């Protein structure tokens, strides 16, 4: 299958290894992965902060970059839900029938990585090896917007050597919330403190999620506490093999 990688702005600028890991996993499964250089942000940050008009060109840019692929795969449940859930409304608001058609064509073929692997391709064992104790934080948008269900957990359970630890109060928000973390920094940090305590209680060496935005937020706090707990995107764990790659 010819797949377009939608890397997302946050992963591109802060966690480029995640993008490389997505390519590794998809190529290992025999797919061709392209990276359209014209891609940019999905516009969720603008949209969720109230700048709806400013998000419209981002939606146009997305459809221009990703039209024509059999599937578009992204390592972010949050950005995937923006494309799938909110692009249609945005196109309608902009009264742009061309954009609406383009969105109708590309949005249903845009998938978050774990859903694409486990549900679209029907693969849970992607050949990964990761001999560490890992706990998984289900991001709010993966859980309650995109409703990925247990797809990430099925993938993690199939990784050889991986010891999956329960995360107390796992479904609670980490407090990031995009610009919420800027506009209400004190509340955001207070929410994060409880998530960090739960991660430490899990006894895991690695905290995993399907969204780097949450991992950036929780990981920052884990680092400042010198907790010794690392954060890794799901793709990076799935990409690891016995060869150490």
Closest approach, Cβ 51 to other proteins, in A, equals: 6
Residue 175 interacts with other proteins (CB under 8 A)?
yes
Under the criterion CB under 8 A, does residue 243 sit at the interface with other proteins? Answer: no
Q: Which of 132, 168, 180, 241 binds other proteins (CB under 8 A)?
A: 180
* Shortest Å distance, C-beta 52 to other proteins: 5
By CB under 8 A, residue 143 contacts other proteins: yes
Of the listed pieces 5-13, 14-22, 45-53, 65-73, which binds other proteins according to CB under 8 A? 45-53
Hey, which residues does 129 pair with through a beta bridge? 160
Stretch of 16-24, 28-36, 129-137, 187-195 lying at the interface with other proteins (CB under 8 A): 187-195
Q: Which stretch binds other proteins (CB under 8 A): 12-20, 34-42, 48-56, 112-120?
A: 48-56
DSSP assigned state of 107: G
Q: Which of 20, 28, 31, 52 binds other proteins (CB under 8 A)?
A: 52
> Residues near 123 by Cβ (< 8 Å), separated by ≥ 6?
29, 117
Spell out the long-range contacts of 86-95 with Cβ–Cβ below 8 A and sequence spacing 24 or more.
86/44, 86/47, 87/59, 87/62, 90/43, 90/47, 90/52, 90/55, 90/56, 90/59, 91/56, 91/59, 93/52, 93/56, 94/53, 94/56
Residue 171's CB is within 10 A of a number of other CB atoms, namely 11
User: Within 13 Å, how many C-alpha atoms sit on residue 239's CB side?
Assistant: 19
Q: Which residues bind other proteins (CB under 8 A)?
A: 47-52, 140-141, 143-145, 171-173, 175-180, 183-188, 190-191
């Amino acid at each position: 299958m010819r797949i377009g990688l939608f890397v997302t702005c946050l992963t591109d600028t802060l966690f480029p290894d995640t993008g490389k890991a997505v390519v590794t996993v998809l190529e290992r499964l025999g797919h061709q992965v392209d990276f359209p250089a014209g891609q940019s942000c999905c516009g969720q940050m603008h949209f969720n902060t109230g700048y709806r008009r400013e998000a419209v060109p981002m939606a146009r840019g997305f459809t221009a970059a990703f039209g024509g692929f059999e599937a578009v795969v992204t390592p972010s449940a949050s950005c995937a839900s923006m494309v799938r859930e909110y692009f249609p409304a945005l196109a309608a608001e902009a009264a742009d029938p061309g954009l609406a058609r383009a969105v109708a064509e590309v949005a249903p073929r845009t998938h978050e990585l774990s859903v694409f692997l486990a549900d679209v391709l029907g693969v849970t064992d992607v050949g990964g090896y990761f001999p560490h104790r890992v706990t998984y934080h289900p991001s709010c948008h993966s859980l309650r917007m995109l409703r990925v269900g247990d797809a990430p957990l099925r993938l993690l359970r199939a990784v050889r050597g991986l010891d999956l630890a329960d995360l107390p109060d796992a479904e609670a928000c980490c407090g990031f919330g995009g610009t919420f973390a800027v506009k209400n920094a004190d509340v955001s940090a207070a929410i994060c403190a409880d998530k960090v305590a739960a991660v430490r209680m899990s006894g895991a060496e690695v905290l995993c999620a399907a969204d780097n935005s949450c991992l950036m937020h929780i990981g920052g706090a884990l680092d400042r506490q010198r907790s010794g707990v690392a954060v890794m995107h799901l793709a990076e764990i799935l990409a690891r093999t016995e060869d150490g790659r």
